[in-house]
Chain A
């Protein structure tokens, strides 16, 4: 289970590679329904009680030209009977629906791994599009792997014949045939998929039945075909987990749920201003369906309007939230400055993607850390929190709301494309276990001869939240520097210096819990310090290294600004520090700046998550 609470059992610590875990990658044309296949396989795997992690990897184009290398869409799942923290380094099984999918994915496959290829798609045209001179299924070039070639297209057409679909529609059932085979291979129940297909195509019963027939045919093929060769049924036992109710969750879902939960704990209605952008839109989609929780969603005309409307809603007494990805966050920057200046609560969710500019819209990266912490004009501090996994994002969202409303400040919540799209099992939280943090609006008008001071401060340096509609508390706020206390326009040099200090001190005073160690000791030879979605690969790499007796610990930072108060002591307790990041070294720079420690970078900016082996290698090198 990818949760902070997980303690490592002896068996896990000695596992190398993790016992009884399998990595399967489904790859096909972007029109082949690979994300759907993967998603349904994930569901059945979760229901079988395995722990799992997934990695959807798809092109930015909605329907890239068929058969092309850049149009390949892939979905990887790692599942097993031990704790799973990553989507897996190298797949054990690759399902390739066409030559392009084979070409772009086969090099990742473990030596000796299994390729299941749809040979019906390996005609001259598709081979040419994938830039193959000869058919790789026949020329021996795949010799280091096990190859299983099936004419999935023909088998699917045969299976759905009774439903009289056109060829194009019939071939759309290929992904269900493939899924059926995969379910058989790993001993998974078909019923949840059947139920899902019936619900999805409730208005098109023929399509539903055809898909179910394809699913069953794929399953039956595995069961009955005379399979000489590599394909064998593999049974993966359920993973040890804490007892309780579980579901699968993606980061986009858990952030949405966490924001709703946070608003409820604060006793506020939630206003979400968004603008479509990959990969952040999913949060807007989820929240748009939750109106009964006092949620208003507003699809604005642009990113700027989305944040401005959210700030307006906060000003008027709701919890304003906005969300975007790098380029959209850049557009919102000026408005963040206003929220800092007017000291209004606001949560800004950044689902990071590869940059700069449009960059890699559908690939993951952690390169917006500088932007989050430093990226505004003027001295404009705001708290920054980062989620490490889909399940963790729920608590992070609640924490962001708590800080925003307690301290009257915008808060940036960092997640990334990987977390947003990836799914993992999630132990359904007991909401009774979350302490409410109700907001109190200022309502008492000042006495005769007294003035309301909109920039008075409580012990946390937060100013009162007096919302329009409250008699006697009329006041004006804005982006111009304001006098301490009264909030009136004030350009004076001493006042500006004082207000700048107050804004800084308020954020530095945010009650951030002490940093804990994820794995290992609180001192020693080497600390691997990470943030965000590198959590899984770092934890696994550290576990494996420790199992081999190496002196290494894992520190994973949720509160990136302000940093936990014990961080200085903690970092100085290690001889070496390595900071793996999917950027060119942003947290590394931050740690060097804040603590004058010799943090060394380990960077990956390929748009792909770290592999465990890459971090393991860095640990070994550092301790050699």
Chain B
């Protein structure tokens, strides 16, 4: 067990014999394919890989991966993943959740798995709706979303998953969408990151919230509304005609025009994945006036939770023999030689 010798696999080695039961056309199919394509490329071993999920459409994911899989209860996948990883840190643990599972009922656990920095990949499928329960608005639904539970439009402010992840102390925050061709690269970067790696994957629910991301995912909108970030590269979009710069007076980001490719002259920022301050601005960047920031927004590893636990356990066990008899005999003891008197 835990034989770490890399084995060569193909995407089909990661497919199960289970019939996939998402709605035809669901964005989850594309994400599943992307993950199955990524696993051979990162040298994954099915026997050492565990997919853990909560409840919801996204959480059916483990059934379709030929790995170990645990479909748990609503919102609690991070807690199960924590127990699994602490029990066996050698396992490659992936967590699949959704906007309702991970940010509503399980928001607390998402916060703490990020804060503790458990070495796991957290794939949050954000479709801004409750699908499996037939279309209620979710914590990421935009204000005014009409749904069976909000027939006159929702009135509460949506959560922003990447801002939540960064605010919780996350050390890796990334974004992609279901059919984006860059998704495998983002998954690879997340896997390469040692620690909790959070990826918000915009996912199109074609039944209850179709095309809600079309403003930036539609082919015709892609170049004007997608900003793909790459470490060490300038933050350019619209085929290099526009970029993101810092408004030094207001201390906030702004969109600037780039003339003749002179992005330096336009003050466009070079993306540094370790810059937490800029990451905070990127996750807060409002869509509309700004493009959607995609790719790896932030990646700055820190020591992981399970390694710290293992190190402390080892340090405190060193030189000590686990003698059960000695343990139960501890403390102030006394010997009764014989019955002190007959009754």
Contact = CB atoms under 8 A, between A and B. Distances in A.
A432 B325 CA distance: 8
A450 interface: no
Nearest to A294: B322
B83 A308 contact: yes
Interface string B72-83: 110010111111
Given A237-B341, A474-B68, A293 B1 contact: no
Contact of A49 (B3, B321, B334): B334
A305 B322 contact: no
Interface string B29-72: 00000000000000000111110100100000011011111111
Nearest to B318: A292
B338 to A, nearest CB: 5
A125 to B, nearest CB: 40
Given A290-B327, A469-B1, A245 B68 contact: no
Nearest to A300: B79
Contacts of B341: 237, 240
Nearest to A196: B332
A290 B70 CA distance: 30
Secondary structure class of chain B's binding surface, majority of residues: mixed
Interface stretch (A4-12, A128-136, A549-557): A4-12
Contacts of A308: 72-73, 76, 79-80, 83
Interface string A298-319: 1011101110111111111110
Contacts of B321: 292
A202 to B, nearest CB: 17
Contacts of B82: 298, 300, 305, 309, 312
Which of A304, A467, A478 gathers most chain B CB within 10 Å? Answer: A478
B16 interface: yes
Interface string A429-463: 11110000000000100000000000000000000
Given A246-B333, A291-B313, A12 B83 contact: no
A521 B80 CA distance: 50
A521 B89 CA distance: 56
B70 A246 contact: no
A428 B112 CA distance: 41
A499 interface: no
B2 to A, nearest CB: 5
B18 interface: yes
B66 to A, nearest CB: 6
Interface string B258-301: 00000000000000000000000000000000000000000000
Interface in A264-309: 264, 269, 271, 273, 290-294, 296, 298, 300-302, 304-306, 308-309
A315 B84 contact: yes
Interface string A232-263: 00000111111111111000000001001100
A246 B86 CA distance: 36
B335 A302 contact: no
B343 A470 contact: no
Interface residues of A, number: 83
B90 to A, nearest CB: 7
Contact of A476 (B71, B87, B317): B71
Interface in B293-323: 309, 312-313, 316-317, 320-322
A468 interface: yes
Interface in B152-193: none
Contact of A309 (B86, B328, B339): B86
Interface in A348-402: 394
Nearest to A480: B71
B70 A291 contact: no
A81 B69 CA distance: 59
A245 B72 contact: no
Contacts of A432: 325
Interface string A309-333: 1111111111010000000000000
B340 interface: yes
Contacts of A264: 322, 324
Interface in B79-122: 79-84, 86-88, 90-91, 108-109, 111-112
B340 A47 contact: no
B73 A471 contact: no
Nearest to A428: B329
A338 B74 CA distance: 11
Contacts of A9: 343
B77 to A, nearest CB: 8
Contacts of A478: 62-63, 69-72
B87 A317 contact: yes
Given A312-B84, A471-B1, A334 B73 contact: yes
Contacts of A469: 1-2, 47-48, 88, 90-91
Most central of A241, A273, A293, A469 by chain B CB within 10 Å: A469
A402 B2 CA distance: 27
Contact of B340 (A49, A298, A316, A474): A49
A337 B74 CA distance: 13
B8 interface: no
A475 interface: yes
Nearest to A46: B334
Contacts of B91: 316, 468-469
Given A428-B328, A470-B47, A474-B46, A246 B79 contact: no
Given A247-B329, A477-B71, A489 B18 contact: yes
B258 to A, nearest CB: 46
A296 B86 contact: yes
B327 A257 contact: yes
Contacts of A82: 343
Interface string A178-216: 000000000000001000000000000000000000000
A513 interface: no
Contact of A468 (B48, B111, B317): B48
Contacts of A11: 343
A95 interface: no
A431 B343 contact: no
B249 interface: no
Nearest to B93: A468
A292 B332 contact: no
B47 A273 contact: no
A601 to B, nearest CB: 35
A335 B84 contact: no
A577 interface: no
A386 to B, nearest CB: 22
Contact of A315 (B80, B327, B330): B80
Given A474-B46, A476-B16, A316 B336 contact: no
A60 interface: no
Given A305-B112, A428-B333, A468 B83 contact: no
A294 B303 CA distance: 22
B79 to A, nearest CB: 4
Nearest to B83: A312
B322 A47 contact: no
Nearest to A472: B47
A257 B72 CA distance: 30
A490 to B, nearest CB: 11
Contact of B88 (A192, A246, A247, A468): A468
Contacts of B2: 469
Nearest to A265: B324
B329 to A, nearest CB: 5
A443 B1 contact: yes
A98 B170 CA distance: 53
A335 B79 CA distance: 11
Contacts of A10: 343
A507 B340 CA distance: 46
B7 to A, nearest CB: 9
A43 interface: yes
Given A308-B72, A308-B76, 5 more contacts: A261-B328, A292-B322, A313-B84, A476-B68, A477-B71
18 contacts: A240-B342, A241-B336, A246-B335, A247-B334, A269-B87, A291-B317, A294-B322, A298-B309, A301-B111, A301-B112, A302-B108, A304-B79, A305-B82, A308-B79, A338-B72, A469-B48, A474-B47, A474-B67
